[in-house]
Amino acid sequence: MNDLNLKEHIRGIPDFPIPGILFYDISTLLSNPKAWSFALDELEKIVSEWNPEILAGIESRGFLLASALADRMDLPMTMIRKKGKLPGDVISYEYDLEYGTDIIEIQSDALAAGSKVVILDDLLATGGTLKASIELCEKVGANVIGSAVIIELEFLNGKENMQKTVKSLVKY
């Protein structure tokens, strides 16, 4: 299955969540076990090169990637979530959006100082959330060694905002 075209398994949904946006939906990828396994195989190859100590998934589809890869690679996994969704002590990070701000959080004991972290998400668009996630992990003393996504929207230039390497499986 080395020549599987993942784009054939990602559905484009026009005008979601607002008119004029083409949403790239990985539900169709998840519903096809062979395509999903192939995507995980390819992500595992990328992530393995970095030799991480822990994987972090960005809410919510990043959880799917990080948990599946953590299981395959026998690594711990942690979640980066929107404000107010994690129990216990958390570390917060506020970042700018095009119109306003948002806050993401991680549990205060989720990452050891100096730990080598790879961050996972389904999609890289403008890069705002991924950049904030990197900065949040570094705020608690972790060493973000790279990030990986299934889909990259190259026309939004999200990689240009990154100080860390970001690798993707599919580019639009």
Q: What share of the chain is helix, strand, coil (3-state, %, to 5)?
A: 35, 35, 30
- Residue type at 149 in one-letter notation: V
The owner of tokens 């299934």 is 150
Q: How many CB atoms lie within 10 A of CB 87?
A: 6
| Catalytic choice (59, 72, 94, 98) | 98
Residue 136 contacts residue 80 (beta carbons within 8 Å): yes
Helices of type H across the chain: 27-30, 33-50, 61-73, 128-139
61 is catalytic: yes
| Catalytic choice (42, 61, 81, 152) | 61
Tell me how far the alpha carbon of residue 40 is from its chain's centroid. Answer: 13
Q: Which of 150, 108, 155, 110 is nearest to 130 (CA)?
A: 150
What residues act catalytically?
61, 98
